[in-house]
Structure 1
């Protein structure tokens, strides 16, 4: 998967864009300020960036100027509510590869990202090797993450991961996940499942610093795309 660093200060939009990027198969790092960007940005890893202009601690245009002055090889898409011709010209002159208004359809954002990937000749990371195996241990209910701290799990989270990790690389339907939780699919509030998946992703990310390798398959379910092992 290709990493995308997303800089957007509005919480709801940041969450929606992060989930959309996951659905497209990217690995988003979602940030809300210039300070966070400076602290988390890794030039060798983050070759794609989506940057808002109006941020709580400064202007995204200044960040773009600094990145280009430093010669960072990152593809940049501005995604901003400031969409006048003058704004777009300035953003492109300072080094953005593309400039989209926030009223743009998300499919346009997806196509722009894909075009940027092609133009930069980016290649997703190679499939996980055996040494990069994610191991779910159902006994103590912990997730062993390659190169990162072990994460303890709730019973619900462990059941969800067991359902997904038992079929690595395959699409698992929402019905299968709900039934793995011991619930009736038709009676189950789908928003509960969405909330649980979001919290699980955040928990793994906050405790391990790694992105949970689960892709949302739009209108279908989920896919665990890394090498996986389950221990009873």
Structure 2
């Protein structure tokens, strides 16, 4: 996965954007200050950045200028409540590749990042100092339906409804591969041609939220636009 460094000082929005980037298949590093960005930024790993302008300890524009002055080639998207023509021009002149106002649809942010990926020909980097392989932390128990999360900071397991169990069973059996919407709908026992796709999107949203609220972990399911979903972590079904 491509690693994205996200700089936003509003806690609720930072969490929302982090979840959104995770759902797109990025690995977000969520930070709330210029100092944290300066400390944590690693040009070897972070290929894309989403940066707010008004921050508690400095200016996002000044940060972008410093990044460009040092020759950093990462793709930069400004995501700010300051969205007048003057603000946008200032952001682009500072070195941002794109400037989005916070009122925009998140799908526009997704499309902007995807366009930057293509233009910069970005590829995921291999993990640095990789740890030895560990047993799959995500385990689906079918009877009773239960999702186990090893090492979760909160509860280690989540009770599942029959519908959620069917969806995860379909995805986790083929972890690492894209599972089509048709296959998932059929696993739910529904007719794909008559099924309202918004129901599946709503179910996935509720399932992600439930797992995060219960365990403190993000459910590793990425939406593959126009295709389906992928469970991108090692998984076991028992």
Unpaired runs of 5+ in structure 2?
Answer: 140-147, 189-202
Q: Which residue of 2 aligns with 1:51?
A: 51
Task: Report if the CA contact (8 A) 1:132-1:227 is conserved.
Answer: no
1:137 shift after superposition: 8.4
1:96 shift after superposition: 0.7
Alignment counterpart, residue 195 of structure 1, candidates 197, 201, 209: 209
> Distance between the aligned counterparts of 1:16 and 1:151, measured in 2?
20
Mapped pair 1:41 → 2:48: no
Q: For residue 46 of structure 2, give the secondary structure of its aligned residue in structure 1.
A: coil
Q: Which residue of 1 aligns with 2:156?
A: 154
Aligned length in residues: 205
> Distance between the aligned counterparts of 2:93 and 2:86, measured in 1?
10
Task: Report if the CA contact (8 A) 1:133-1:227 is conserved.
Answer: no
Q: For residue 48 of structure 1, give the secondary structure of its aligned residue in structure 2.
A: strand
Q: Which residue of 1 aligns with 2:117?
A: 117
TM-score by length of structure 2 reads 0.67
Note closer, same or farther for the CA distance 1:192–1:87 as it changes in structure 2 (3 Å cut): closer
> Distance between the aligned counterparts of 2:90 and 2:122, measured in 1?
26
Q: For residue 28 of structure 1, give the secondary structure of its aligned residue in structure 2.
A: strand
> Distance between the aligned counterparts of 1:165 and 1:111, measured in 2?
27
Q: Which residue of 1 aligns with 2:106?
A: 106
Q: For residue 135 of structure 1, give the secondary structure of its aligned residue in structure 2.
A: coil
> Distance between the aligned counterparts of 2:234 and 2:45, measured in 1?
21
1:196 shift after superposition: 3.0
> Distance between the aligned counterparts of 1:98 and 1:22, measured in 2?
20
> Distance between the aligned counterparts of 1:126 and 1:224, measured in 2?
19
Unpaired runs of 5+ in structure 1?
Answer: 144-149, 178-189, 205-210
> Distance between the aligned counterparts of 1:20 and 1:151, measured in 2?
20
> Distance between the aligned counterparts of 2:138 and 2:119, measured in 1?
42
Q: For residue 222 of structure 2, give the secondary structure of its aligned residue in structure 1.
A: strand
Instruction: State the superposition RMSD in angstroms.
Output: 3.9
Q: For residue 124 of structure 1, give the secondary structure of its aligned residue in structure 2.
A: coil
1:13 shift after superposition: 1.9
Within-5 A mapping of 1:131-142: 132=133, 135-136=136-137
1:151 shift after superposition: 5.6
1:142 shift after superposition: 6.7
1:170 shift after superposition: 4.9
